[in-house]
Amino acid sequence: MNVIPWELPPPGRLKLNVDAACFFNQGFIGIKAIIRDITSMVYAAMSKYINGLFEPWTVKLLALREGSRFALCKGFVIQFVESNSQLAIGLVNSTGGLSSNDLITRDVKSLLRSCEGSSCRFAP
């Protein structure tokens, strides 16, 4: 997989960045998402907690799904989505199987298609 450095979205387009964290001692995960334009102006942001304990790559996939769902529900047209999880991005950009992670991956792909062809990138 090629590493693409952080970059601005094209003029007139928006970019969604997502991240997540595991809070194993408290029994939940935290997800955050931010939508920005070429000037880094924030159009919308969200954070949420999800009860449960998940593998780290599952948490990153959930962040991609919830961030994409947030953008779609708010009516934003997103050029691309970035995450710092190379594994999660690889799963979204590949063909999948039937594991629980593959089901989340399919949700992300479906949401991205609904966002008018958004792409998903790894940003270290």
Least Cα distance to 22 among 44, 47, 52, 42 occurs for: 52
| DSSP conformation class of 52 | S
Partners of 30 in the β-ladder: 21, 49
* pLDDT tens-place string over residues 33-42: 999 999 989 9
Q: What is the DSSP code string of 6-21?
A: --PPPTT-EEEEEEEE
Q: What percent of the chain has pLDDT over 70?
A: 86
Tell me the pLDDT tens digit for each residue of 43-56. 999 999 999 988 88
| Domains of the chain, first to last | 14-122 (3.30.420.10)
Q: Evaluate if pTM is beyond 0.85.
A: no
Q: How far is CA 69 from CA 4, 7, 33, 44, 61, in A?
A: 24, 22, 10, 13, 12
| 65 compared with 118, residue with greater pLDDT | 65
Could you report the per-residue pLDDT of 85-98, keeping only the tens digit for each?
888 888 887 776 65
